[in-house]
Amino acid sequence: MFKLHKTQGKARRGEFHTPHGVIQTPVFMNVGTQAAIKGALSADDLKNIHCQVELSNTYHLHLRPGSDVVKAMGGLHKFMNWDGPILTDSGGFQVFSLAGLRKIKEEGVTFASHIDGRKVFMGPEESMQVQSNLGSDIAMAFDECIENPSPRDYVEKSCARTTRWLERCKEELARLNSLPDTVNPGQVLFGINQGGVYEDIRIKHMQDIAKLDLPGYAIGGLAVGESTEDMYRIIDAVEPHMPVDKPRYLMGVGTPSNIIEAVARGVDFFDCVMPARNARHGHLYTWSSGTINIKNEKYKLDDSPIDPICDCPTCKSHSRAYLRHLFKADEMLAMRLAVQHNLHFYNTLMAQIREAIDNDTFDEFRQKWSGKIDKRNS
Amino acid sequence: MFKLHKTQGKARRGEFHTPHGVIQTPVFMNVGTQAAIKGALSADDLKNIHCQVELSNTYHLHLRPGSDVVKAMGGLHKFMNWDGPILTDSGGFQVFSLAGLRKIKEEGVTFASHIDGRKVFMGPEESMQVQSNLGSDIAMAFDECIENPSPRDYVEKSCARTTRWLERCKEELARLNSLPDTVNPGQVLFGINQGGVYEDIRIKHMQDIAKLDLPGYAIGGLAVGESTEDMYRIIDAVEPHMPVDKPRYLMGVGTPSNIIEAVARGVDFFDCVMPARNARHGHLYTWSSGTINIKNEKYKLDDSPIDPICDCPTCKSHSRAYLRHLFKADEMLAMRLAVQHNLHFYNTLMAQIREAIDNDTFDEFRQKWSGKIDKRNS
């Protein structure tokens, strides 16, 4: 299922096979939380910006429109008209970051919907049932995502429960995949490593979940309050205990530099809302001059594209001056053109990382770009 | 410049030549007030929905980003990346409908910007200068658009001034077109008929402005408070006094039925914000079941397209259930897909009207569709 083609140092060049196509890794997944990319991008646009994997959220789609609706419409691929690979987050992170009035028990979590406050219960089985209805290619384990820092004894207890939840997820997904009316019988489960910023808890938890021999493993609970140094330290600690022959997914990370640094530490999959969110605020990535703020006065009469060397649909057709005008005039088109550019930038960044590993030039690539692109230039 | 190919009753089938291509009439112009279509549609999307003419607004672009900016960027066509015909409204309507604290004198109008309240002066010369900077193919005369009903003596005085303003517009545009650095030297001017709901004032004004022998004439000041019957009555009264060999443009109108009825009364050009605005509220036009409200519960599990016989990009790729979900989830993509559908519907309506006139079947077309499409069906 996962083929590791090549390594340079710890950086890995591989491919992951799914029922909806092969994912070349390292890969950045483009986030479409509610079965739609923020900024009015359609599934067709995703193809034009070279998106490989679309990521949607179990929590959001469970609350609205309901996974029964998506299943009745033929699953998420058909519902949103995207025929490439889809990964669904388990809802764990959102239950702990978005929902209100949480109550955690061994069975699962009762929480209040962020939309209408209604009480909802979700445990490992429910999360798998929802993800099975959605029919994603990769389902994520239902876990507890704790904030950093959290007390050591709480983290230990939480991790043990997350392991027990993972066993239940595995069993439930196997059952669901064998049902005659399952949407995507080839759906696979990735486990999620937790443990806060405690290296020993992280390692112990990783060793425990590795025993379940799942098709992939994620590092969760990072980029939730800890420093960048802590994040890299935890990856360095956990990575040697992750199966070599399975893909590794660093959840919710990050800046272009974070991604380059995590690839250098052996990570294969990424996702982050940051490029789309930055785009919506007019902060656009360029290879030539770092991150620019397109709303800046200096772009008022600038008829060059956002990035002269970019071949995204936005840069091929529109000038900085036009983009700036659209932002100033509060036109929705500003969002779309900006998100399109930033997501294309991330997808291109990953393509260049893959090419660099292929050509044994990843060290040079890392040296050239790490810490550079994120720099605010105006 | 305008070729009248064929008539059926008063309905006219023609073509209008501009520096950016030939417009087949009757035509509906797609409104991009601030050099962008509401709902995040790009100029490329306009091509896919068979838009012939894009319409932008002098008032808005004068205030933001300023027509000097657009001129420096090569004019509106280059600025927004649309190489088809563009018509610009003169600002007259917006000055009288959007701006604050108006003061009208013979020279022009002083008003407060709706954006920041700053005092701005615009008269016929200023409007032409802005439109010349924008470089549209068709510039509209700067007129006073009075609300209906207005007192008879005020309407008479206002019309006389609008005629004097039109003479100044004509002279100023001729001067601007002869300047060496003009953006679009082939830009032409359309006059605008006013006169409220008074048939005799309308006719007298039309006769006065017809003498200026302009390349086209519009009927303005309708759909601003009067009844539909009054609107049709005024068109019926004015039309016999409009030059046969010039295109006629009914400004800001209207519903599909209004358009069919106005074509039947001899009108060639239309524009309206209604299809895009309706789309943004989820009200979508269909040939099969009138106007539907896509947010309705009954579309929750409906996997058919908005209109089964529509070949717009939205209907080709997305279901009613997905559209409904996007609206409920407040996703920007809802706006884009809905606006795309409704504008495509209007552009298709016009294509069918043209075909019907070509085939001498317009009377049947009118009988079949007038009053039908606007009907709310859910």
Shortest distance, CA A262 to any CA of chain B (angstroms): 32
Residue B376 maps to a domain: no
Cis status of the peptide bond prior to B254, with omega within 30 of 0? yes
Based on the structure, what is the number of domains in chain B? 2
pLDDT value of position A99: 80
Cβ atoms of A125 and A165 closer than 8 Å: no
Chain A residues with CB inside 8 Å of B332's CB?
Answer: 36, 38-40, 332, 335-336
Same domain? A151 vs A206: yes
Pick the residue from chain B with its C-alpha nearest to A305: B79
Task: Give the separation between CA B163 and CA B193, rounded to whole angstroms.
Answer: 9
> CB distance A319–B39 less than 8 Å?
no
Task: Give the separation between CA B201 and CA B163, rounded to whole angstroms.
Answer: 12
Annotation says A89 is catalytic = yes
Same domain? B187 vs B333: no
Q: What is the DSSP string of A180-216?
A: TT-S-TT-EEEEEE--TT-HHHHHHHHHHHHTT--SE
> CB distance B335–A40 less than 8 Å?
yes
Same domain? A207 vs A120: yes
DSSP state of A242: S
Residue B89 maps to a domain: yes
Task: Give the separation between CA A46 and CA A344, rounded to whole angstroms.
Answer: 9
Same domain? A162 vs A288: no
Residue B115 maps to a domain: yes
The 10s digit of each residue's pLDDT in B37-93 is 999 999 999 999 999 999 999 999 999 999 999 999 999 999 999 999 999 999 988
The alpha carbon of residue B214 and the mean position of all alpha carbons in its chain are separated, in whole angstroms, by 19
Same domain? A55 vs A159: yes
pLDDT value of position A96: 84
Q: Which residues, listed in sequence order, are joined to residue B192 by a DSSP beta bridge?
A: B218
pLDDT value of position A150: 93
> CB distance A301–B73 less than 8 Å?
yes
The 10s digit of each residue's pLDDT in A97-139 is 888 778 999 999 999 999 999 999 999 999 999 999 999 999 9
The mean pLDDT value for B244-261 works out to 97
DSSP state of B284: E
pLDDT value of position A92: 87
Chain A residues with CB inside 8 Å of B72's CB?
Answer: 301
Task: Tell which of B273, B304, B328 closes a domain.
Answer: B273
Same domain? A292 vs A262: no
Shortest distance, CA B290 to any CA of chain A (angstroms): 24
Is residue A326 helix, strand or coil? helix
Closest by alpha carbon to B125, among B212, B204, B58? B58
The alpha carbon of residue B10 and the mean position of all alpha carbons in its chain are separated, in whole angstroms, by 21
Six-digit token pair at B251?
């400004």
Q: Name the residue range of residue A290's domain.
A: 279-369
The mean pLDDT value for A81-108 works out to 92
Cβ atoms of A251 and A216 closer than 8 Å: no
- The band of B96, judged by pLDDT with boundaries at 50, 70 and 90, is confident
> CB distance B333–A65 less than 8 Å?
no
Helix (H) or strand (E) holding B156: helix B152-177
Nearest beta carbon to residue B300 from set A42, A65, A321: A65
Shortest distance, CA B59 to any CA of chain A (angstroms): 13
The 10s digit of each residue's pLDDT in A27-41 is 999 999 999 999 999
**Chain A residues near any Cβ of chain B (below 8 Å):** 34-44, 60, 64-65, 69, 72-74, 79-81, 300-301, 303, 313, 317-319, 321-322, 324-326, 328-329, 331-333, 335-337
Same domain? A139 vs A43: yes
Task: Give the separation between CA B150 and CA A250, rounded to whole angstroms.
Answer: 68
| Average per-residue pLDDT for chain B | 96
DSSP state of A287: T
Task: Tell which of A272, A301, A318 closes a domain.
Answer: A272
- The band of A378, judged by pLDDT with boundaries at 50, 70 and 90, is low
Cβ atoms of A99 and A59 closer than 8 Å: yes
The mean pLDDT value for B88-107 works out to 89
Is residue A173 helix, strand or coil? helix
> CB distance B40–A43 less than 8 Å?
no
- The band of A72, judged by pLDDT with boundaries at 50, 70 and 90, is very high
Query: In this model, does residue A340 exceed pLDDT 90?
Result: yes
Cβ atoms of B209 and B217 closer than 8 Å: yes
Q: What is the DSSP string of B93-149?
A: HHHHHT-EEEEE-SS-EEEE-TTT--EEEE-HHHHHHHHHHHT-SEEEPP-----SS
Active-site option among B137, B143, B268, B271? B271
Same domain? A172 vs A299: no
Same domain? B330 vs B251: no
CB atoms within 10 A of CB B120: 17
CATH number at residue A57: 3.20.20.105
Residue B374 maps to a domain: no
Closest by alpha carbon to B89, among B137, B51, B139, B123? B139
Sequence-distant (6+) residues with CB within 8 A of A153 are none
Residue A332 maps to a domain: yes
Amino acid at A86: I
- Decide which of B355 and A95 is more confident: B355
Annotation says B330 is catalytic = no
- The band of A245, judged by pLDDT with boundaries at 50, 70 and 90, is very high
Task: Give the separation between CA B166 and CA B112, rounded to whole angstroms.
Answer: 23
- The band of B140, judged by pLDDT with boundaries at 50, 70 and 90, is very high
Residue B377 maps to a domain: no
Task: Tell which of B273, B303, B335 closes a domain.
Answer: B273
Residue A56 maps to a domain: yes
Cβ atoms of B129 and B63 closer than 8 Å: no
| Average per-residue pLDDT for chain A | 96
Same domain? A96 vs A239: yes
Chain A residues with CB inside 8 Å of B80's CB?
Answer: 322
Residue A376 maps to a domain: no
Same domain? A361 vs A268: no
Task: Give the separation between CA B12 and CA B362, rounded to whole angstroms.
Answer: 10
Query: In this model, does residue B105 exceed pLDDT 70?
Result: yes
Same domain? B61 vs B198: yes
- Decide which of B341 and B100 is more confident: B341
ipTM of the complex: 0.97
> CB distance A65–B328 less than 8 Å?
yes
Helix (H) or strand (E) holding B47: helix B43-48
Task: Give the separation between CA B377 and CA B375, rounded to whole angstroms.
Answer: 6
Query: In this model, does residue A377 exceed pLDDT 90?
Result: no
